[in-house]
Amino acid sequence: MRMQARAAAGRGSIAAALREAASVLWPVACAGCGAVDVAVCGACSAALRGGPLREALDGVPLLAAAPYEGPVRELVAACKERGGRAEARALGAGLVLAIAAAPAGALVRVPSSRAGMRRRGFDPVVLVLRAAGLRATPLRRIRGGGAQKQRSAEARRVAAVGSLALPSSAARRLEGRAVVVVDDVVTSGSTAREAVRALRAAGCRPVAIVAVARTPKRVPGR
């Protein structure tokens, strides 16, 4: 037993030394706030687990894990642009809580834009869902809605209309069922509205929209 204990202690010492050496050679910092030696710190993780934001989008409940600002915005960027796995796990933990607070339904995800897929090589929503141990049926882009980031709210609305559809095989499986739309960030709400429209057109019943983050609403005059 003593020999086993010494061996275990020795392995622990070696592992600690390796971790210390790795932190020198490949320093890590929290993507949310810059705290050293951790990919996502406890405070930034907690910002995604404080309880979902709730509102309604054209009568459909919208739940988001956190406001799209500060450390949460940085974590989303690290996941979307670099495919950060630690960030995806933190975002996924928040998404799970938001989904748990929403009405029950089959998960249907909003797909990344074609330009985003070409540039990144992966879909951030899939990455977050996978990190959370979840799967969702994908909507399909039937025409280029394009990247929405630089557009005005009205331009986003116009570009989104008619851009999504539920594949026929999924439509047969989900017809008449309650479904929950899943996205990473809801900004103007144009893409979420289009997802709801496409699902209703396929005979589904959208009962909620769930996202990792929601862009805070602007206060007039500020």
| CATH code: domain of residue 141 | 3.40.50
Q: How far apart are CA 103 and CA 134, in angstroms?
A: 16
Mean pLDDT of the chain: 85
Secondary element (H or E) of residue 46: helix 42-46
Q: Whose structure tokens read 């010494």?
A: 6
**Is residue 22 one of the residues assigned to a domain?**
no
In three-state secondary structure terms, 55 is strand
Per-residue pLDDT at 22:
41
If phi > 0 it is left, if psi is from -120 to 50 it is alpha, else beta; for residue 70 that is left
pTM of the predicted structure, to 2 decimals: 0.81
**Is residue 158 one of the residues assigned to a domain?**
yes
Domain assignment of residue 180, given as a range: 50-214
Q: Which residues are paired to 205 by β-bridges?
A: 178
**pLDDT tens digit string along 100-157?**
999 999 999 999 888 888 888 899 999 999 999 999 999 999 865 555 555 555 665 6
Domain count, the chain: 1
